[in-house]
Structures are given as C-alpha cells and as structure tokens.
Amino acid sequence: MTRIVPFSRRTLLAGTAAAAVAPALGARAQALEDRLVIVTSFPRDLTTPIVQGFERRHPGTKVEIQNRNTAAAVAFIRETRSSPPDMMWASAPDAFEVLKKDQLLQRYRPQATGIAEKVGAYPVNDPDGFFVGFAASGYGIMYNTRYLRANNLPVPKEWDDLAKPVYADHVGISAPSRSGTTHLTVETILQGEGWEKGWALLLAIGGNFASVSDRSFGVPDAVNSGQYGLGIVIDFFGLAAKASGFPVEFVYPSVTTLVPANVGIVAGARHPRAAAAFIEFLLSPEGQEILLDPKIMRLPVRPETYAKAPPGFPNPFTDASLGARLTFDSEKSEARYELLNSLFDRLITFRLSELKAAWAAIHAAEAQLARRDNAEARRLVAEARAKASAVPITEAESLDPQIAGAFQPTRPDRPAGARQAQIEERWDTFARANYAEARRLAEQAARLR
Amino acid sequence: MTENAIGVAVEDVTFAYGTTVILDRVSLAVPRGEFFAFLGPSGSGKTTLLRLIAGFGQPQRGRIRVGARDVTEAPPWDRNVGMVFQNYALWPHMTVAENVAFGLHRRRVPRPEVVRRVEAALALVGLEGYGGRRPAQLSGGQQQRVALARTVVIEPEVLLLDEPLSNLDAQLRVEMRAELRALQRKTGLTTIFVTHDQEEANAISDRMAVLDGGRIQQVGRPVELYDNPANRFVAGFLGTANLIEGEIVREGAASLFRGPGGIVLPAPGTARTGRTLLALRPQALAIAEEGRPAQFSGEVQRTEFLGGHVRYAITVAGMVFHVDEAHLRGREALPPGTTVRLAADPDQLTFLEP
Amino acid sequence: MATATLAGLRLPGLARLGASPAQVALGLAVAAFLVAFLVVPVLRVAWVAFQGPAGFTLVHFGDFFASTLFREALYNSLYVAAMTVVLATIIAVPLAYFIARFDFPGAGIIHTLGVIPLVMPPFVGAIAMQLVYGRNGTVNLLLNDAFGFRIPFMEGLNGVIFVEGIHYFPFILLNLSAALSNIDSAMEESAQNLGARGWTLFRTVVFPLALPGYVAGASLVFVKVFDDLATPLLLNVTAMLAPQAYLRITSVGLADPVGYVISVIMVAVSLAAMGGAALLLRGRDYATQQRGGGGLQRRRMRSGEAAFAWIFIAITLLIVLSPHIGILLLSLGTVWSFSPLPDGFTLAHYGTVLTESTRYMVNTVLYCGGAGLLDVLIGIAIAYLVQRTRLPGRRLLDQAATASLAVPGLVLGIGILRTYFEVSVPGIEGSLATSGLMLTIAYAVRRLPYALRACDAALRQLHVSLEEAAEMLGAGKLFTLARIVVPLMLGGIAAGFVTAFATAAVELSATLLLVTRDVNAPLSYAIYVYMQSPAGRGPGAALGVIAVVVVAVGTWLSHRLAERDRSRRSREVVAA
C-alpha cells in the first residue's frame, strides 16, 4: 500500500529533525512575545491584510515581514542558524521539505478545529508536523484575452491543447527547478500520464514555449503585459491579475494539481509563542476569510469559509474535478526531485531553441501531410515525433538511487556513482542529437511531394 | 667653515632609482647667506639634489645638513626649508592670501600675526592688495611672486628655487632675476637656485656648482669657473670654447703646445708635458691683420652677427674654430671663403686633462 | 643588524618599505577592509568549487570543460560581451566626440542623460523593456500594425547584446569623454600645424591619445556584461555563464558544486579581461604627461552639423532612454497589456508610494550615500597609495578592489551572511550581517571599482608639486591629503560618488539576501516587493521613477561640480 504523504520527500530523514515546540499549554499560559519575524515569498497584497488582522487580534505583537524569493529565503534561514527568523511562510512545498530535511523547522500541531484533512487528493499538513497548510492553490492556464483575440487563438481547456501547433510560440512556463509549484505540475503530469507519455506531452508543449522563465512571477508578468498569450501558472496569479484589471482569464484543466500554501516555525525561533499564535490566526475563520480577497485569491482550507466566497470562486470541497483525479505518489516524487528538475532543464529549458525548431519542422510537415497524404512522409513524421518526444532515461532509472543520488548532496552512506555533471552531459548530448534528427526527418518529409 | 656659518651641507650623497644612479657621491657646502646655483644640463641630477635637500626623497648614502642640523632623515615638513617649484604649485582652490598663510597656520602662528606677515610677504614681492584673488586670475610673473612670498613668509633656513624663471618670457626673466637677487640681499636667506641657463647662473649667483652625470664637476665663483674650467665639460658648458687636442713639449727652455695641422702655440713653463687639451675662448682668438704675427690660418665658413660682436666659424686643419670679433659701426664681416690668419692671446690659454 | 654595519648605508625598516608609518597604516586599513568584506566572504563561497568527497579536488573544473552546454555558455558569454562593446562603442563614440569637439548646449544633457541608463530599477526596468521592445511591446505592435513585421529586439543573444548595449554604453561615454577633455589642445594644434586635419588628425593624434580612456571604458563594459545576470534572465537566455551559475547556486536543495565552479571561472575571465586591458595600456598612459588638459578645441557647429548632431542625439537618447520612458508610462498608467500605450493614466500609484514608502527612500539615501562616501574614501586612499607611495603591495590593493567587479552580488551576499551572521555589534540590533551597516558595506564593496577609477583619474590630473609645496611648508602627509589633494580632486570624487550612489540605489541581488527587516529596507527592495503582485506594478514603477529622478539630480549636481573644478583649473593653465 502506498502511503499518501505528498510533498514529504524526506519523510524518513525528517523523523530525526529538531525537537518539537513547547506544547500548546505553554503558548496559552504565557503572553505572546512583542515581536514576530516572518520570512515570506508572498506578495504584500497577501501579507499586509493578514498581518494587520493578526496585529488587531494580538495588539502587543509587532510583525516584521521579510520579503525574499524562495531561494533567497531558504539560503537565509540556512545561513542564520544562530539567530533565525521565527517563521517561513511560502507556497513552495519543496522549500519546506528542504528546510525540514536540514532540521531547520520545528514541529507544531495546530489547535484550530474545522480544518479539512485534505484538499483535493492532498493532505493539508505535513504528516510529520513540521509545517502547516493554510490555503491551497491550483495549477492551470492563464491567458491574455486581447492577445488571443489579436492572434485568433482558441481558448485552451486542457494541458493537451497547449501542444497544438496553433499555440506555437505563445506559451510560457517557469522552470521546475526555479518554481516548486511548477515542479509539482510537471510531476503530476508525469504520474498522471505515465513517464514516457508524460514526457512526450511535456516535450510537445515545450515545442510551443515562447520562453521558460526563471521565476514564478515572470510568467504572469509576461501574460499580463501580453508578451506571450498563455502561461502555465498557479491560480492566484491569474485570479489576482484579473482582479487588478488586467485583460486575463484563468482556467483549471481537468487534471490539475492543488498545491498547499504553507507556514512553518523555524527551529530556534526567538518568538515561538507569537509564531504559534500566527498559525492559529491563519487557520481561524477570520484569517481564512481574508484569503477570499480578490487581490489574494487563495483557496481556504476551512470548508465553511467558502460560504462567504464570491460567486464563481472555485471550491475544491464541492467540485470533485479540482485536483481529485489522481493519487499522488510522493515517495516517487521525493526520490527523483532534483533529477527531474535537472532533466527538465536539460531537455527543455537549455535546449529550447533546438526543441522549438524540431517541433516547428514537424508541424510544418504535418500541415503539408494534411493537404496531401504520403505514406513515406507520414512514416518520417512519426519517426520525427518519436525523436522529439523521447526521454533519455526510463522511469525505473529515474528512481534508481545510483542515478538520482548524483543530484543530491553527497552523503557518506550513499555509494558514489557518476557525478551530476557527467550525467547531465549525456542528457544534453541526447537531446541535441534527437532534436536535430527530428528536425532533419521532418524537413525530409516536407520535401516529399 | 665653522658650524655656525654653514647654510647647507651635502656630504657624500648617493641617490639612485633602482639601479639608475642619479647622484654619485656628491659633496658640497653652501655658507650661510650665500646665493648659490646648481648649473647643469637636464639629467645632470641638479633638481634631484635640490629635492633631496628639501626632503623629497631619501639618499641611499650620505648626510644632508641644514644649518647645524642633520636633516637627512627628517620629512619635508620638518626641515624648515623653503622651495619654489618650477610650475609654482599654487593651490587653485585657495586665494593668494590663503596660499601664503598656509605655512604660517601650520606653524601655529597666531591669527593677527598671520595677517600681518602675509601682508608683509606680499608687499615684499610687490603684490600688495592681491590677497583676495585666486591664482588663476594672476599672470605668470605674479604667480611666481606669490610662490616666492608663500615660501619666504615662513622664514625658512634655506630657500630653494627650482628653475623659477623658466616659465617666464625673456624680458620678465631678466627683471625677476634682478628682483630675486635683491630679495635675497634683503632677507639674507641662504638660497640655492637650479638652472640649466649658464647666463642666469652667472648673473645671479655668488658661487655655483656645475653638475653633470650625477657628479659635481666644479664649484666656484662664476668668473673662476669661466676662466679656469676644471675639465672639458665645464669649459664647454660655460660659454663657448674651442677645444684642441695636442701635447705639450719642451724645446729648450720653452714649452710649446703642438696641435693638429701644424698648430704651435707657446705654453707656460709650468704646464706639464705630455698629452693635453687646449681650451681657447672665442675672444682669445683674433683675426690677425696684414703684417701682424699669427700662429695659424684657416678659412671662414660662416658668420653670425650677435650685436656686440661677430662670431666667425673658421676651419683650421679640418677643425672648426669659433672666433669673436668686436663689432664696430660700419665694419662688415668677412665673407665666407676668405682665408684668414689667426692669433691666440698667450695669456688666455687653458690646458686641461685630455 | 647587518645593515647598520655598512658604513653610511641606511636601510631602516620603514624606509625599506618606501612608505611612512601613516601610509603603512592607511594601506593596512584598506587591506583589512577588502580582506574582511570581499576576499574572505568570496573565498568562503568559492571554496565549494574545490571540494570533493575526499577534500580538495579539481574534478569539477574538468566537468565544466567536459560539458557541451557550459562550453557553449562560455562562448556565448564571451561573444555577447565582445559584441556589446562594439554596440556600446557605436553609441558612445559619437556622443563623446560631440561633447569634446563642439560648443553646443547639448553637452550637459548628454552628460546627465548619459548616466541615466545605468540606473535601471530592478524588475520594473525589465518589464518596461518588454513593454517597449518586447515581441508585443509598443515598437513591435506599431511596426506590426503599420508594416506587418516585427523586429526581435529582445530575442536570444542579439537581444541580450541590444539591452546590454543601451544599458552599459555610458561606461565608454564617461571614460572616453574624460580622456578627450584631458587632451592638451596644443597636441592637436601641433598636429594641425604639421598638416593633419579631419580624419587623419583623428586617427593619428586624437584617437591614440584617447585610447586609454576608451579601453578603460570598454573593458569595464566587457566585464560588466560578462558578469551580468539580470539581462539574460529577463530575456530568458540561459545558455550563458552568469545565468547558469545563478540557476545552479540558487536552486532550492541543489548542492551541486558546478555553480560555484562557474563563479570561479567568471571571476577568472573578468580578471583576465581587466588584466589584458591594463597590459594593453602599459606605457600608454599619456594622461600623466598631459597636465592641465583643457580638451580639444571646441568650435560652434555649422547649422547642418548641428542638425545632424541633434538628430543623432535625439534618436540615440530616445532608444537608450526608452526603458525609462516605459517606466514612467507604467507608473502613470492604469492597465497596460498588449497595447502600445497604457489604457488610461492616473497619479494614484504615486499617492500609494508616497504614503507608504518614505522610509525606503530615506534608507536608500542613507545606505547608498554611506556606500558612496565609503567608496570615495577608499578610492582616494588606494589611488593615493598607488600613485604617491612606493608601499609594497599597493597595486594588489587596486587589483583586489577592482576585482570586486567580477564578483556576483549573490556570491558576496551569501559570503557575508556566512562570515558575519554570528557577529553582533553593540548598538546594532540583531546580527551585524543583516544590519543597515552591513548593507552599506556590501554596496560599498560592490561599487568600489567605479569610485576607485574616478578617484584614480582625478589624482592623475594633480601635479605632485602641489602636494610637495604643502609638505615643504610644514604640512604632514595626512593634512596635505585633506587640505590640498582632496579639495582639488573634488570633481573626480563627485563623479565617483555619484556612480557608486546611483548604481547602488538599484542593486538587488545582495540586497535581497541581506535585508531582514522592513525598517532596514531600501528602495530596490521595496520595488521588488511591489513587483511581486500584478497590483504592485504601478507603485513599483513609481518608486523606480523616483529612484531615477534622485539619481538624475545627483548626476547633474556632480556634473556642475566637475565643470566648475575644470574651469577653475583651465583658467590657471591659460594664465600660466
């Protein structure tokens, strides 16, 4: 039986992590500290109303927000063990996993009741209690309506749609290595479609990418500006942009991922009681309602809160299609986390122009086939598709500790295999050769009359 | 010279940049109150020597004394030596008065006295009322005076002047030269003056040192050096000299100088026999008139009219001799190609080491 | 004491060092600063590149060169840096020539507007560039409507070259026009006298004399572009070294040493480029023989020339300032999406930032002003030690300070956290590493090379006799420095201060790592925070405009100061 523990890539390791926070009675018995320092990657639109609400509830405590991107936040907490900030507050589950693995978080079990166990197929909280989900967000497609109209593009509904030739050069995504949420989307597609088929789909969509951004917010930025028309983004980016007046819309495909937004107390926090109170506030009905603000647009984890939601607000507790389609094997995800990031970069991010050229040639050949069929050409195009959809390693290999281990920090207990750089070089060679061959085959097919 | 009478003494000073020796075992004494000149071509080390006295650079060897004090290791600001730079080095961001007052403030002179002494110094150089101006608003000659005032106002033990006249035009240079001399007389300052212009050195200094190649060639009063140069360099550098290699031989009781091309001249009996170098000033040679005695003959190459006299270039046995003839009204110079006979004044011969 | 026995020979300790105790102390203080805040932090980070499971190893460097992608990235980075120098030259040389050669009212404008491109507020600048030049930016939407085609300004390596070129050309402009203004007009006159004019004059006299300034600027452009991270990231070009290093170092959970290997290689290439430029200029530092300067002969333009010059300037400035125009529009616009101009205009964004963000502005002025001050102090000290003393190792100080150009802000930030987080100082709340003081120091380290070059050039203009005169009158070295040297270097110092201040005002990479408290945060951080949400675009852009205006005013003031300084000096030359 597969235990469903999403996002905990290092469950076993984490068992040895730092001591739990003082139990709740301590938190209740003593007054809160006068300060609370929170590192967050959330925008001000989200943090300000919540912090204001918290400070109204606990007037004696002043909250200090430190805005950092996720990577800088993790690096900061890592480098400041002796006097860390009190809390980490961010979307990216992988960042929390890394902190948990490095024993930089401490346990806290929330007191609040009425919180759902699961959103979609995912448990809200870290099973080991190191971090707590306070909201959920779904992945989907955001698009610029002016852009689609100007370019005569249809509105997409499903992930597969994005692989269609019509969207060539109109789609944007952030790299999974840079965005924990994109990583989850990629992993979900791979688990939902199967390894080989999943990669074929990703590479076909990849052929339509206008660019691969290095930061999550780069994608909604570009769609908002109309640099490209469609972006694979987390829902609140689309919903909040729409609420801010941009001509954009957001759709959930039927296979979507729901990603929890988390908060955790940093090990050695100076203000643990205020931190605990902050978590309780987030989970309280008052805190949950703030999430419905049009500038924030996160899905509350308290089902009753949806009663106050504006019409059309997605509700994962009533809409079964939202994220409930598949079960997610988190052990698999954990085993190949870094490997998957690197593989995506090698196959798509760093070889985007080669990949796009291959797919452009395939699309051109197929268009010609549609006008005049030709068996030989069809065979060549099929071969080209196969080349442009191939992945250098099997699913079994992706989970092999000998290979996947090369992408993780060196540990004495793991046998030394090939180094990351050597494996990556093999993948890079594989990708370049395949894309060049696919392009050659497709162009050859196009020349056949 | 007693301790008390020493203005500046340089003892056995050697200075080098890396392996390039600039000054080679130089020794020199300037008595108090003397106006002394360092004369030499560029690269002779004269400015370096001046700068060592001011404290800009440390000799690798030797001592430097100012007055009774050994200042070899003292920094420039602790020597009480005043220097006027070739480019004046006035500070453009300060007024004339501020420039002049600078050294006094450094010496913690009380303010009222500073004002008085700055005015006195400016008066000394003839710039009363210029205190409020900026250096950029002054002419070159005025800037020079400010530089001078700035230096003398601190009443230095010794005043060093680094080619102070080289940036002035010809007439101003002659005027300033006289003023400098007058100023020195008035203040009684021991003064060292660096120049490459022998006329300037002759005109202004009590004594001078001729430098070449980092060594002192000769020290003495200008007229001594001119009349009795110690070597070929001094003879050639101070004015023009015809230099003739030859030897002194004894013929009976008489000594004779024998040069190339059959030149024979009487030599004083005290002259040593053997190889020698004869230095003859142009004015020690004369073009002999018909029937007058002459020692040798040559052919006029060209003439230069120099106002008071005419300088002839005359070839004698393949050598070119310069001969000066006084110019009088109505007298025309001899045309080139004229053969002339030359007579040397036996009292004006100088025999040098070859 | 063997030396003492050599009769008459003195080699006391300090004389052997060729420096006075104060100079030695100054040198040590500067060295201590550089070691503490540059060398040690960077080495602590770079050390990872040399560590294998069994200690020291070079195997990761082997991996780097075995990788096709990294070799391509290295080639691309070199190519982009070189081509950017070409583009920046094409923009900067005519502008510098106009300023130097002609008497016309545009000079001050060129000077001021020439610095503005260096001030590109983070994120806002990126979005504005896309909105103006992107594939659906203003220019391309208009082109597409009118002519049915687009120009890929912002695509691939050429896009990087385009953006870098219009961002960094001021380095060449500033250095070149400084060099031109130092040329003694007598040199030009003597060449004219010998029959050279027009192109021959330029080729044989003006160009060789201006070459040191040009090479200094060009090498700076090369190094900055080679190390630049923001532009490739903005254009999503990853096949270059800086983005490869950044992606590797900052990816969550990745402990791959290759990112640090790339950093080390980038530092090495940058140092080599700067060393090469220095080698090229060895023995050609004509500036030292050109006291006074005064610049080329200026003349009035004929009306045809003036028209041509104005058109060239107008087009150039329009192109290089378009990101700033974009930011201005963004700050005044309501929604701007897939259209040549925003849908509507409003002042609301300025209202938002003025009520919320005065603290950030104060912090920016405080930190960047402090950093600029620190930079000119250290810059003066190093320039002085290098040019006026024979202190052993003085060139090393110069090189170390200059080398900070080659250190990515992120590496410095991590290094400083790693080195100083445990340190706390009385009077500063929290850790030293995350205090405003450390942010000031980090800015100072990052911007030191700019200030150093400016101070160095200013001191070169100063005849040593001005200092000797003061010493002779009884002023010690330090007093001379304070009363004579520094006041006379004021123009150059101001230029150095402004460059350091202006570029620090928009520095982000180290800021993001070192700011821990809102009350400590500067403008660039506030811009970042605003730009994280769609609603924050307008206010973020408004803050960007404010940053640009602050810098523009500072630049203009320093230009005035430098001009005054120059005219004072040149009047002196005329009089002498």
Q: Dump the DSSP string for B303-342.
A: EEE-SSEEEEEEEETTEEEEEEEE--TTPPPPPTT-EEEE
Interchain pair C469, B150: CB under 8 A: yes
- Quick one: A129 and A24 in the same domain? yes
In chain B, which residue's Cα lies nearest the Cα of C6?
A: B61
Cross-sheet strand order for the sheet of B35-39: B81-84, B158-162, B190-195, B35-39, B207-212, B215-220
Residues of A in contact with C254 (CB under 8 A): 177, 338, 341, 407
Q: How far is C291 from chain B (nearest CA, A)?
A: 11
Length of chain A: 449
Helix (H, G, I), strand (E, B) or coil at C364: helix
Q: How far is B75 from chain C (nearest CA, A)?
A: 8
Residue of B nearest to C15 (CA): B58
Question: Letter for the amino acid at B182?
Answer: A
Give domain status of residue B234, yes or no: no
- Nearest by Cα to C244 from C231, C233, C234: C233
Tell me whether residue B37 is in a domain: yes
Nearest to C473 among B103, B136, B143 (CB): B103
pLDDT in tens, B10-21: 999 999 987 888
Same domain, B224 and B347: no
| pLDDT score of C293 more than 50 | no
DSSP C70-127: HHHHHHHHHHHHHHHHHHHHHHHHHHHHHHHHB--THHHHHHHHHHGGG---TTHHHH
Q: Do C532 and A44 touch (CB under 8 A)?
A: yes
Examine the domain organization and report whether A375 and A433 are in the same domain: yes
| Whole-complex ipTM | 0.81
Measured from the Cβ of residue C563, the count of other Cβ atoms closer than 10 Å reads 14
For residue B4, what pLDDT band results from cuts at 50, 70 and 90? low
Contacts of A46 in chain C (CB under 8 A): 533
pLDDT class for A324, splitting at 50, 70, 90? Answer: low
Does a structural domain hold residue A298?
yes
Q: CB count, 10 Å around CB of A232?
A: 23
List helix spans (H) across A7-86: 11-14, 24-29, 44-57, 70-79
Same domain, yes or no, for B73 and B128?
A: yes
Given an 8 Å threshold on Cβ–Cβ distance, is A177 in contact with C131? no
Among all chains, which residue has been given the structure tokens 């076993």? A12
C486: distance to nearest CA of chain B, Å? Answer: 11
Q: Is B235 a domain residue?
A: no
Please indicate if any CB of chain B lies within 8 Å of the CB of C289: no
Mark which of B210, B229, B248 sits at the end of a domain: B229
What mean pLDDT is predicted for residues B192-202? 90
Mean pLDDT, chain C, as a whole number? 80
| B90 domain-assigned | yes
How many distinct structural domains can be found in chain A? 2
Position A6 scores a pLDDT of 38
Instruction: Please report where in the chains the tokens 């897939």 appear, as a residue.
Output: C338
Q: Binning pLDDT at 50, 70 and 90, where does residue A363 land?
A: very high
Q: What is the CATH number of the domain that holds B74?
A: 3.40.50.300
Q: Which domains does chain C have, with CATH numbers?
A: 19-57+349-576 (1.10.3720.10), 58-346 (1.10.3720.10)
Domain extent at residue A96: 11-134+260-308
Helix (H) or strand (E) holding C420: helix C409-420
Using alpha carbons, select from A434, A357, A424 the residue that is nearest to residue A389: A434
Give the DSSP letter string of B181-234.
HHHHHHH--EEEEEES-HHHHHHH-SEEEEEETTEEEEEE-HHHHHHS-SSHHH
From first CA to last CA, the distance across chain C in angstroms is 51
pLDDT, position C285? 55
**For the CA atoms of A409, A415, A420, A421, what is the dihedral angle to 10 degrees?**
120
Is A394 part of any domain?
yes
pLDDT attached to residue C238: 82
Contact present, C322 and C130 (Cβ < 8 Å): no
- Judge: A408–C434 Cβ closer than 8 Å, yes or no: no
Asked if residue A158 belongs to a domain, the reply is: no
- Regarding whether B195 and B337 lie in a shared domain, the answer is no
The pairs formed by B125-129 with CB atoms below 8 angstroms and a separation of 24 or more are B125/B149, B125/B179, B125/B183, B126/B179, B127/B96
Question: Using one digit for the tens of pLDDT, what is the confidence trace for C132-179?
Answer: 888 888 999 999 888 888 888 888 888 889 988 988 888 888 888 877
Q: Are residues B9 and B151 in the same domain?
A: yes
- Stretch A265-283: mean pLDDT: 94
Q: Is the pLDDT of residue B328 over 90?
A: no
Q: Which of A80, A222, A424 sits opposite C417 (nearest CB)?
A: A80
Among candidates C67, C236, C535 on the partner chain, residue whose Cβ is nearest the Cβ of A424: C67
Mean pLDDT of B113-122: 93
Number of domains in chain B: 2
Q: What is the pLDDT of residue A381?
A: 93
Per-residue pLDDT tens over the stretch C515-536: 777 778 888 888 888 877 788 8
Which residue from C minimizes the CA distance to A419? C63
Last residue of a domain, one of B203, B229, B255: B229
C-beta atoms of B61 and C8 within 8 A: yes
Written as six digits, the tokens of C19 are 């420096």
Same domain? For B12 and B64 the reply is yes
Residue C271 binned pLDDT confidence (cut-offs 50, 70, 90)? confident
Is B313 a member of any domain?
yes
Cβ contact, residue pair C9, B154, below 8 Å: no
CATH number for the domain harbouring residue A117? 3.40.190.10
Q: Are residues B7 and B103 both part of a single domain?
A: yes
The pLDDT score that the predictor gives to residue B314 is 92
Put simply, whether C196 touches B (Cβ < 8 Å) is no
Distance of CA C454 to the CA centre of its chain: 10
- Mean pLDDT (whole number) for A266-290: 94
pLDDT of C30-41, one tens digit each?
999 999 999 999
**pLDDT at residue number B117:** 94
- Smallest Cβ–Cβ distance between A341 and the set C60, C251, C431 belongs to C251
Give the list of residues 6+ apart from residue A373 with CB closer than 8 angstroms, or none: none
Residues of chain C contacting A418 with CB distance shorter than 8 Å: none
B136: nearest CB among C479, C488, C568: C568
Which of C136, C233, C534 comes nearest A214 by C-beta?
Answer: C233
- Smallest CA–CA distance, residue A432 to chain C, in Å, is 10
- Whether chain A has a CB inside 8 Å of the CB on C44: the answer is no
Q: Which domain holds residue B282?
A: 240-352
pLDDT grade for A12, boundaries at 50, 70 and 90 = very low
Average pLDDT, chain B: 88
Is pLDDT at C10 greater than 70 in this prediction?
no
A273, HSE (Cβ side, Cα atoms, 13 Å): 14
- Chain C residues lying within 8 Å of A82, measured CB to CB: 421-422, 431
C20 and chain B in contact, CB less than 8 A: yes
Using a CB–CB cutoff of 8 Å, tell me whether C339 touches chain A: yes
| Residue spans of alpha helices (H) in C194-257 | 198-201, 207-227, 230-234, 241-250
Q: Looking at the structure, do residues B295 and B223 belong to the same domain, yes or no?
A: no
Whether residues C422 and A71 touch (CB distance < 8 A) is answered with: no
- The reply to whether A111 and A39 lie within a common domain is yes
Residue A114 has pLDDT above 90, yes or no: no
Looking at the fold, whether A116 and A29 belong to one and the same domain comes out as: yes
Residue A241 lies in a domain: no
Q: Does one domain contain both A347 and A414?
A: yes
- A18-65 pLDDT tens trace: 334 444 444 444 688 899 999 998 888 889 899 999 999 999 899 988
Q: Which of C20, C568, C576 sits opposite B167 (nearest CB)?
A: C576
Residue B7 CB coordination number (10 Å)? 22
Question: In this predicted model, what pLDDT tens digit does every residue of A403-421 receive, in sequence order?
Answer: 877 776 655 444 455 678 8
B96 and B200 belong to one structural domain: yes
User: What six digits make up the tokens of C379?
Assistant: 């810059």
Is A144 within a domain? no
Minimum distance, in Å, between the CA of residue C574 and any CA atom of chain B: 8
Residue among C397, C394, C353 at smallest CA distance from C545: C353
Calculate how close chain C gets to A268, using CA atoms only, in Å.
14
Q: Is the pLDDT of residue C268 over 80?
A: yes
d(CA C489, CA C498): 14
Q: What is the identity of the amino acid at B333?
A: A
Q: What pLDDT score does A88 carry?
A: 94
Angle between helices C59-66 and C258-280 (to 10 degrees): 80
**Cβ distance of C250 and A71 shorter than 8 Å:** yes
In this prediction, residue C442 carries a pLDDT of 93
Q: Are residues A356 and A302 in the same domain?
A: no
Q: Are residues B225 and B271 in the same domain?
A: no
Which residues of chain C neighbour B135 with C-beta distances below 8 Å? 572, 575
* Lowest-confidence segment of A378-382, B120-124, B155-159, C320-324 by average pLDDT: C320-324
> Do B213 and B275 reside in the same domain of the chain?
no
SS3 A123: strand
Q: Which of C114, C223, C69 is nearest to C498 (CA)?
A: C114
> Measured between CB atoms, which of C465, C475, C574 is closest to B77?
C475
* C-alpha distance from B321 to closest chain C C-alpha (Å): 36
Instruction: Return the partners of chain B (3 or more C-beta pairs < 8 Å).
Output: C
Q: Is residue B200 part of a domain?
A: yes
CA of B203 vs chain C CAs: smallest distance (Å): 25
**Secondary structure (DSSP) of B71-107:** -TT--GGGS-EEEE-TT----TTS-HHHHHHHHHHHT
pLDDT at C454: 82
Between C396 and A74, the higher pLDDT residue: C396
Whether B41 and B163 share a structural domain: yes
**Taking CA atoms, what residue in C is nearest to B162?**
C465
Q: Are B and C close enough to touch, i.e. 3+ CB pairs under 8 angstroms? A: yes
pLDDT digits (tens, 9 = 90+) for A149-187: 999 999 999 888 999 999 999 999 998 887 777 888 888
Q: Give me B317's structure tokens.
A: 């046995």
B224 and B277 in a common domain: no
Using a CB-CB cut-off of 8 Å, the residues of chain A touching C409 are: none
